[in-house]
Structure 1
Amino acid sequence: MRIYISADMEGVTGLVDADDVQPGGRDYERGRLMMAEDVNAAIRGAVAAGATDITVNDAHGPMRNLLPEALHPAARLIRGKPKQMGMLEGLTPEHDAVICVGYHSRAGALGVLSHSFMGHEIEDIWLDGRPVGEIGLAHATAAAVGVPVTVLTGDDCACTEMTEWDASVTTVAVKYARDRFAAELRPADEARAAIEQAVAASLCAPPKAPVVDAAPSTLTVRWQSASVASMLLGIPGVTSADARTVQAQGPLPGLYRLFGVWMRVAASLTNQPPYC
């Protein structure tokens, strides 16, 4: 059984502030070890369920957060950037399941460290008219590859967002949002035991592969800056919905890869901190 783990950081046990998750932050070094422990709990659960091949993709920010020496030896790590498929780099149809560790709710939600991919540079995203953030877009893209998401961990708001997108996904709340930078925390050992148990249980029966739909989707993004939207119109296939909103059509996962190009263009035009 081949398992793919996409590891973000904002939804990791104990982390609540930008200083916990940004390189240079006063608690970042502690945060990256907390991230490794949540990921390792998921790896242990996968191993207990019989996984023989586990890939972990460091999917947060600079994508160099996980220390290879801190990772469970049963897994291989994809580290660094740029990556053509970003948070889903390395996912293939040969994988049996996707586990999302440390995910967070989308921009505008009152979840811990909530945002969509680029802090406040992205105000809203829609996939086929449905509001979406990193959770829904990762789920839809994995489904297009033919691999089901079976478990997601994060704060309670991220878990609710996942359930609203697909109620069949098992969720593990490791903390409960009190505000965007405050949460009630589950004890670390309890949270990691819950992650391990949820992953093992979700994989005990072979996960059911989703039906791959090759029909084109429409991705719409509203940016904070009209400059970003204007520049993106130079990419073939990108159209304008208004001065700050662009969209494109195409099948996933190609559309997800195109969105990564949009973000690289936006990053070249802006210099905003991710949380403010």
Structure 2
Amino acid sequence: MRIYISADMEGVTGLVDADDVQPGGRDYERGRLMMAEDVNAAVRGAVAAGATDVTVNDAHGPMRNLLPETLHPAARLIRGKPKQMLMLEGLTTEYDAVICVGYHSRAGAPGVLSHSFMGHEIEDMWLDGRPVGEIGLASAVAGAIGVPVAALTGDDCACAEMTDWDASVATVAVKYARDRFAADLRPADEVRAVIEETVAASLSAPPRTSAATADKASTLTVRWQSASVASTLLGIPGVASMDSRTVQTQGALPDLYRLFGVWMRVASSLTNQPPYC
């Protein structure tokens, strides 16, 4: 059994603030170790369920948060950027399931450190007319590739968002949001034990199948904070303007995900906004 783990950071045990998750933040070094412990709990759960191959993709920010020496020896690490497939780099039909660790709710929704990919630079996103963030897009793209999401960890709002997208996904709430930068934290040891147990149980259950729909057309719409980003993106073939700050394009989901990565690189070149202001 081959398992793919996509690891974000905002939804990791104990982390609540930008200083916990941004390089240079006063608690970032502690935060990256907390991230490793949540990931390692998921790896242990996968191994307990019989996984013989576990790949971890460091999917947060600079994508160099996980230190290789802190990772469980059973896992391989995909580290650094740019990555054409972003938070799902390296995911192929050869994997049996995806585990999402440390995920967070979408921009504008309740939840600790809620945002969609680029802090406040992305105000809203829609997939086929439905509000979407990192959770929904990862779930949809993985499904299009043909690999089901088996489990997700994050705060209670992230778990609710995952359930709204796919109620069959097992979730672990590692903390309970009090506000965007405040949470009621579960004890770390307790959480890691639950992550391990939940991942093992989700992978030991009768296998879920996800028929690949990589050729099915979808529509991705993004509203940016900056009109200059939207206008610049119109130079990319197939991108249409919905209003002065909103652009839209259509295509197969894996292709849209790669194209969205290009959009973010364009946006980064035009703006210099901190991610959690």
Fold match by TM threshold 0.5 = yes
Q: Which residue of 2 aligns with 1:3?
A: 3
Give the residue type in structure 1 aligned to 2:157. C
State the one-letter code of the partner of 2:7. Answer: A
Paired letter, 1:131:
P
Partner of 1:17 in structure 2? 17
Alpha-carbon distance between aligned partners in 1 of 2:4 and 2:110, rounded to the nearest angstrom: 28
Return the offset for 1:208.
1.6
Contact 1:150 1:207 in 2 (8 A): no
> Aligned AA for 2:250?
Q
Q: Deviation per CA, 1:141-174, whole angstroms, max 9, x where unpaired?
A: 0001100000000000000000011100000000
Residue type of the alignment partner of 1:232: L
**Is structure 2 residue 62 aligned with structure 1 residue 62?**
yes
Q: What are the Cα deviations for residues 89-136 of structure 1, in whole angstroms up to 9, with x where unaligned? A: 010000000000000000001200000000000000000000000000
How far 1:206 moved relative to its partner?
4.8
The residue type equivalent to 2:187 in the other structure is: P
Task: Provide the C-alpha distance between the structure 2 equivalents of 1:85 and 1:139, rounded to a whole number of angstroms.
Answer: 13
Structure-to-structure mapping, 1:186-265, within 5 angstroms: 186-213=186-213, 214-265=215-266
Structure 1 unaligned spans of 5+: none
Instruction: Give secondary structure in 1 for the equivalent of 2:253.
Output: coil
Q: How many residues align?
A: 276
Deviation at 1:207, TM superposition (A): 2.7
Would the aligned equivalents of 1:113 and 1:181 in 2 still touch at CA under 8 Å?
A: yes
Q: CA deviation at 1:204?
A: 0.7
Deviations 1:47-105 (A, max 9, x none): 00000000000000000000000000000000000000010001000000000000000
Aligned counterpart, 2:71: 71
**Displacement after TM superposition at 1:209 (Å):** 2.1
What TM-score, normalized to structure 2?
0.99
Measure the CA separation in 2 of the matches of 1:207 and 1:187. 31
Q: 2-side partners of 1:20 and 1:207: how far apart? A: 36
Shift of 1:215: 1.6
Distance 1:220 1:109 in 2: 17
Any unmatched runs of 5+ in structure 2? none
Taking the aligned partners of 1:152 and 1:235, their CA distance within structure 2 comes to: 34
Identity within the alignment, %:
86
SS of 2:231's partner is helix
